[in-house]
Amino acid sequence: MGQAISRDYQNRDLHLVGVLRGAYQFTHDLSGVLEVPHSVDYISVASYGESTRSSGNVQLRMNVKYPVTGKDVLIVDDIIDTGTTKSCGEVDSWLAMIFKF
């Protein structure tokens, strides 16, 4: 996977955005095997509350610390069950950028 991402993002401004907490370790490990310059940041979102099912209402609990404008953003999430992370306020505003899911 690291080789494929490195190939796809050669000569581009890659910014990994890991979704906490589940994707922290994978984002860290993935970053370590990438062969292209990149930056790493994290967001925290919630849609489950106290339930075991997603409410469909995604709340951004922690936003990225570094600007993503003009960067190719690769969101690293551990579980894609409802696909609603990408519809969360700030994340939705990045849709003009390149996403690979």
Q: Which residues contact 50 (CB under 8 A, 6 or more apart)?
A: none
Burial class (CB in 10 A: 0-12, 13-18, 19+), 82: middle
Per the structure, the complete domain to which residue 57 belongs is given by 2-96
pLDDT tens for each residue of 1-42:
899 999 999 999 999 988 887 788 989 999 999 999 999 999
Domain count, the chain: 1
d(CA 59, CA 50): 14
Residue 101 resides in a domain: no
CATH of the domain at 77: 3.40.50.2020
Residue 59 resides in a domain: yes
pLDDT tens for each residue of 2-13:
999 999 999 999
Residue 84 resides in a domain: yes
**Active centre residues (catalytic):** 81
Residue 90 resides in a domain: yes
Residue 25 resides in a domain: yes
